[in-house]
Structure 1
Amino acid sequence: MTRYRPLIMLAVGITFIYWIISIHSPPHPYPKNIAFVQSKIFMEPKPDGVFIYIKDDWIYLTAVWKEYEVIGDVRGVVKQYKRPLHLLLSSDNNFDPNNEGPITHISSYYHKNISNPTSDLEYNENNALAILYQRLENERNQYVLRLYNLENLEDDFDDFNMILPGTTKIMSFHVANSLILYSRNHDDSKFRTIQIPINIFEISKKKNEPIILKSSEPGPLQNVIRVMQAEITANDELWNFKVIVHNSSLSEDSDRSQINNWGTKSLIAYKSPTSKKEEYDFVQGMTMNSPLSIPKLIVVTARNVTTICIALNNALFTFDYRNTTSSEQKSKSKEAYTVGVEHLPLIEEWPFQVIGMEINPNGNLLLLVTQENYILIYKRANANGESWELKMVITAPYLDFISQSDLYELDVIAVRPINISKLNLDNNNGIKNTGNILLTLFDNGSVATFHLDKAEQEMKLWFIIRRQWQMYIGMLCVVLAFVWNELN
């Protein structure tokens, strides 16, 4: 029996290590990984904005650098890449323009195609991109809006320039349903609107010169416009988060003098204690308080459902617009918004900050990207005010595992849910996956896809060992030391 003691000791040690590995099951399931395509296409620095558009069997990836130094001159750069969906992505770039100044704002929107009026309205995605950049001509400051047609399947990329009226600084900018909405510094109006012509890209084929816009409307033209204002203030003890909705109704018979009369309602007043981080300065030999870290607001809106989600550190605020208030309805009408507040769950990396968010067109699938490259996948039955439920979590170590990145960690810069069932794909390409697919884009241009309808609960053995390999090597050395002792 004595001669078998080393083997018994080795078997017990290996069994104990395997038991430690087996209990490291994930707290949440993760979607099944379909593919990972490594392709380094992005230049340094990282792009400031990334927009993904899907058309049939094609992926159009548009990357925007707000400021990029070209031979001592700072300009905005826009690049677009395209590749068949079944091949995911390649480094073939067919579009590489330079703007005449730094880019200040970026917005994607849905542009109705007049050549295809019978398109599927249920799945219409943002198919146009609006780039606002600043141009200095002599001593005159101009804001130029360049519109890109992401749906163009030809070799030439459709774009058109529009010069906005005014020269003062534009503070906020957004385009929705071909309506430009922006606000200026030191302006009497809360915002201004400009309607983009429905045939703007047809005009661009006939006219090369930019359109000079003479004026803008200082408020709504007809019906109802709601402007949501979110602000953060902080002091030494608390930082406050407020969401205020401004409602303005204006019909064709309304008095134009009442255009700036707004109804204001506060939806959220959220407070959280601030924590100053103490840092020891070895040069001065004293402890100093670092500046307060003000959280950044991340906002997304659903395309076909009026759902707005705001992420703030570990809190998620959801606004679901329930009714279709018209200009004839009064303030006594049914409450327009359902407001939900949820605190994000504890995960391995805590505390964390949400740095990216994406929602599907129907408003029932939400993706959150944290600062540590964790992807949280939330689902709900419908967008009628129901609360979100955390279904799956993609951890940063798992992303490193599937990317086989040993030298450095890849950062997630964009995520996109895709409903494959609604796309006209060529079945001859061997695409077997249907349903909801997650497209994940990394900072070097690599892409990973996951099946959001197929979850995997058990981690792969090699992934668990690789994640904590230092600990398992130490445990194995201890077991081998005991076995060596028994042999001698």
Structure 2
Amino acid sequence: MQWRPFLLLVAGIATIYLASLLQDTPYPHPAKILISEQPKTRYLVDETVLTVANGYMYQTSIWFEASLQTSRGMKHGTGRMKTGVIGHLKQVRRPLGELLGKEDVLEQGWVETFKHQLRGPISSISVVPPSEIADEANELVFAVLYHALEDEEAQHFVRVYYLPKLTATHIPTFEYKDILLPGNTWVNAFSLEHHSILFSRDPDNYRFRVVSFPANITSKPHSADSEIVKLRDSKRGDPFGSECVIIPETYRVFTMDFHQTTNSLYENITIVDDQKTITQLSELRGSVPEHKWNWRDMANLTYDNYVDDTSEYIGFVEVAKISQHERLKTDFPKLCFARSSDAKTVVFPLVGSEFLIIDYTDRIDLLEKDKKERKHLYKNDEGTYLPEYYYWSKTKLSTNVYDIQITGFSLNDRGNILALWTEHENIYIYKRGDADLHDTSKKQVLSIHEEDTVLEGGPKVVSQDGISTSGTKESSDRFLDEWSLRMVITPNERARGYSISTVGFINNTNSDNGATGNYIFVGLNNGMVNSYSVDEAEERKEVNFVTFVTDRWDMLIAMSMIVSVFVFNECNHFGS
């Protein structure tokens, strides 16, 4: 029986080798430019903001609840309002050329620009959509929402960071203003816009509220020399959103909110317009026109709160087949969104690995020919179609992995490169239009408005929520470029144990030859910032046993230990 350990060892090695051959062919990996080696922060950050201005990359690390030394780490409050903790911000900058791998740039590394402590803890942040911030003066960049107790009254502040007017030789420095929001009801979400703030309260009778900035919000004095800007009134939104997005120069607001019951999880997405109503009486009185919110579009999605997972077992008594049902709870999606600089493309998460893309288009001449989409076109009071429309497409993450949670989105300023990252720390990069140079077949799109659509080579498919799979939609394919998964950044080259904090894009133009390049920056919660080129890909590795050993060494060690235990057990029992 001495041959049994040897056969078991051979069988174990064969199993490991077979597992190495079952690896999926990896997606192309964007070309690495700069990969950080050492963490820059002692404590893991809650959020990171990456900003490019005048040839520098600014990294702002944000801690929501930093302990006060005077409180000895103690915090008070069982709810969302707490004392004994404060918000903390730290910003560093580095020449952009270093992150882009330019050889003629003198390496300077990261230089600290400021450290700020707030009066109370931070609950959320908001960043303006990507744009050419470096070339504009007095541009708002990002804001943080924090809360403080003044005697017995709860106060809610927004600290807005901006770049003041710059000279040609001046290195930009961030300044800020503190803004006190009206009321003392808890503010659970907000969105920073160019001239205003949208925010929602909990509880409230309205989905959101709007407050406008004073005209001199970015004027002197700045930062610590300035006084708190107290906003007295807010404009109410449509009667009863947690996430708010607004299109510049027009109060067109996207809201998204979730609510959950015992049996179902509901996701509601609305698009509303702000219309000024001028009546004859208001003209005679010279009063301010009334604001009325008109519903443009909406989607109500319903998911089962629990899903049946059936596992079959074979009983030993009378060889009876026993079926055991396990109720799996549906994970609540993380509230996040991304939008292009012109707000014509907006991305929202759905339950699981699905996400929703809303695209603006004015090609109603094509939509009028489609019976299914024509009934959703917008009409004015005269009954004629308005030259604008939002096309809703529901997309599932293109991966063979089981449903995973999407934890963040990022869109470039042109709205043709999308990055989303998941709870497994993988970053999936989608491209379309001019950014997608590959000639591949169209991927499937799930349309909110379609009731039934014929797939290529298949029958009509309708899902439970009325959202259908569209693979041959002729009219929309002519004016909407479809997204294709082109690249994936895996956590192999990043430090294990650290998660993704933010992802940002930049389109850099070389003044010598006018060539453009798209770059992606990945900020981790340990302060590291990695840069990649999404126009170039790393040399694709062959899938073989060597790559299995180098890339999946943790799995190899686990399988080897299991085989070793069995071989050792056989040797002890039958080796003598």
Length-normalised TM-score, structure 2: 0.64
For the residues of structure 2 that align with 1:18 and 1:111, how far apart are their CA atoms?
47
- The residue that corresponds to 2:157 in the other structure is 144
Does 1:215 find its partner at 2:303? no
C-alpha distance after superposition, 1:185-234 (max 9, x if no partner)? 454554332222354222334952222223233359x9852232323344
Describe the SS at the equivalent of 2:550: helix
**Letter of the aligned partner of 2:530 in structure 1?**
A
Structure 1 residue ranges without an equivalent (≥5): 1-13, 279-286, 482-488
- The residue that corresponds to 2:506 in the other structure is 418
1:429-444 matches, within 5 Å, as 435-444=517-526
> 1:273 Cα shift?
6.3
**Letter of the aligned partner of 1:81 in structure 2?**
V
- The residue that corresponds to 2:430 in the other structure is 378
C-alpha distance after superposition, 1:240-261 (max 9, x if no partner)? 3332223331166696685345
- The residue that corresponds to 1:485 in the other structure is none
Native 8 Å contact 1:316 1:342 kept in 2: yes
Native 8 Å contact 1:298 1:357 kept in 2: yes
Native 8 Å contact 2:130 2:412 kept in 1: no
Equivalent position to 1:336, from 380, 389, 393 = 389
- The residue that corresponds to 2:355 in the other structure is 316
- Change over 3 Å in CA distance of 1:23–1:351 after alignment to 2: closer
**Letter of the aligned partner of 1:300 in structure 2?**
A
For the residues of structure 2 that align with 1:91 and 1:276, how far apart are their CA atoms?
51
User: Identical aligned pairs, as a percentage?
Assistant: 24
- Change over 3 Å in CA distance of 1:64–1:323 after alignment to 2: farther
Q: How many residues are treated as equivalent by the alignment?
A: 434
For the residues of structure 1 that align with 2:327 and 2:432, how far apart are their CA atoms?
42
For the residues of structure 2 that align with 1:394 and 1:111, how far apart are their CA atoms?
21
Native 8 Å contact 1:159 1:204 kept in 2: no
Native 8 Å contact 1:112 1:198 kept in 2: no
For the residues of structure 2 that align with 1:299 and 1:104, how far apart are their CA atoms?
17
**Letter of the aligned partner of 1:410 in structure 2?**
Y
For the residues of structure 1 that align with 2:139 and 2:162, how far apart are their CA atoms?
10
- The residue that corresponds to 1:293 in the other structure is 331
**Letter of the aligned partner of 1:451 in structure 2?**
S
For the residues of structure 1 that align with 2:363 and 2:42, how far apart are their CA atoms?
45
C-alpha distance after superposition, 1:129-167 (max 9, x if no partner)? 222211211122222221112577658641122222222
- The residue that corresponds to 2:456 in the other structure is none
- Change over 3 Å in CA distance of 1:230–1:332 after alignment to 2: farther
Structure 2 residue ranges without an equivalent (≥5): 1-12, 72-83, 100-107, 239-247, 283-287, 311-324, 365-377, 436-478, 568-576
Native 8 Å contact 2:305 2:329 kept in 1: no
**Letter of the aligned partner of 2:48 in structure 1?**
V
For the residues of structure 1 that align with 2:278 and 2:221, how far apart are their CA atoms?
31
- Change over 3 Å in CA distance of 1:69–1:471 after alignment to 2: closer
Native 8 Å contact 2:61 2:527 kept in 1: no
- The residue that corresponds to 2:33 in the other structure is 34
Equivalent position to 2:114, from 86, 89, 95 = 95
**Aligned-residue RMSD, C-alpha:** 4.3
- The residue that corresponds to 1:467 in the other structure is 551
- The residue that corresponds to 1:57 in the other structure is 55
For the residues of structure 1 that align with 2:516 and 2:149, how far apart are their CA atoms?
49
- The residue that corresponds to 2:89 in the other structure is 78
For the residues of structure 2 that align with 1:112 and 1:252, how far apart are their CA atoms?
35
State which drifts further: 379-388 or 147-156.
147-156
Describe the SS at the equivalent of 2:41: coil
Native 8 Å contact 1:276 1:291 kept in 2: no
Native 8 Å contact 1:417 1:439 kept in 2: yes
Native 8 Å contact 1:31 1:453 kept in 2: yes
For the residues of structure 1 that align with 2:199 and 2:235, how far apart are their CA atoms?
11
For the residues of structure 2 that align with 1:474 and 1:205, how far apart are their CA atoms?
62
Equivalent position to 1:170, from 178, 187, 190 = 187
- The residue that corresponds to 1:275 in the other structure is 307
For the residues of structure 1 that align with 2:249 and 2:39, how far apart are their CA atoms?
48
Native 8 Å contact 1:172 1:182 kept in 2: yes
**Letter of the aligned partner of 1:356 in structure 2?**
G
For the residues of structure 1 that align with 2:87 and 2:498, how far apart are their CA atoms?
25
Describe the SS at the equivalent of 2:221: helix
Length-normalised TM-score, structure 1: 0.75
For the residues of structure 2 that align with 1:301 and 1:218, how far apart are their CA atoms?
24
